[in-house]
A = this chain, B = another copy of it.
Amino acid sequence: MNARNPLNIGAAARAMSNFGFSRLRVVNPFEVAFQEARSAVGAAEYLARAEQYATVAEAVADCALVVGTTAVRHRDLRHVLKPLEEGGALIRERMQSGRRYSENVALLFGSEKFGLSNEDFSHCHWLIRIRTDDEHISMNLGQAVAVCLYEVARSDADEVKTQHQAAQHVEDGANATAEEVERITQMLFEALQLSGYVKPRTEGSTEEKVRRLIRRLSLQSKDAVAWQGMLHRMVLKLRRNAKK
């Protein structure tokens, strides 16, 4: 809507490409800004396909749901205003394939300076707002677009967790076994003895302390070998020096 800054149009297009949205419609842009954005390096693909409209009504004509965006909470809104977390989930649901009817959804952004007008709002079914700090409610247009599209494309945290749990397990790795942990404990304790850290009088309690310290590290199995390798080398060096 009336975007003035070519960088912002380009930024909106870039965020769309990042989150897999493809149809950018520009309403009544400042001609110069639009042409400049179109010819920006790297913007080619998405902006070249951007459609230009003279009015909001024409731009959203084939959409079954039109959602406006606003930074303001209390501008005498006659629309239902939902936080993005909630509105984004509703949009996601409406766009989901697998529904009986696939629907076009329009997400409407205003100009950098004035946002959407009441006339623009009147084309919307409801509005969303990104919840921001009370003192700094005005977001950069390109950033606002990115945040909204991220939320619409977002998966439930639960969903993501399920998807990634298998992979995480492999990466996170199993914890080291008690046997591995104890071997590491013994190597560290020998290194400490050879270094003069362990005093004969308190040998028993020092060993316990070292054992507790190691247990608190939640060592992973895949790392246990590396730790043994490092400690082994230190112990060998300290032993050799002790013999000199």
Measured CB to CB, the residues of A under 8 A from B are: 7, 11, 14-15, 17-20, 80-86, 89, 130-133, 135-140, 142-144, 146-147, 150-151, 153-158, 160-162, 164, 168, 171-172, 188, 191-192, 194-197, 209-210, 213, 216-220, 223, 226-227, 229-230, 233-234, 236-238, 241, 244
Contacts and interface: CB of A to CB of B under 8 A. Distances in A.
Given A85-B160, A86-B160, A150-B130, A18 B172 contact: no
Contact of A197 (B139, B196, B230): B230
How many copies of this chain are found per oligomer? 2
Given A213-B227, A223-B213, A157 B162 contact: yes
B158 A195 contact: no
Given A147-B146, A233-B197, A132 B83 contact: no
A195 B187 CA distance: 14
28 contacts: A11-B142, A18-B132, A18-B139, A18-B143, A19-B132, A80-B171, A80-B172, A83-B155, A83-B164, A85-B154, A85-B155, A86-B157, A86-B164, A89-B157, A131-B153, A131-B155, A139-B146, A140-B146, A144-B146, A146-B147, A147-B147, A150-B150, A156-B158, A195-B237, A196-B237, A197-B234, A241-B241, A244-B244
Contact of A230 (B138, B147, B192, B230): B192
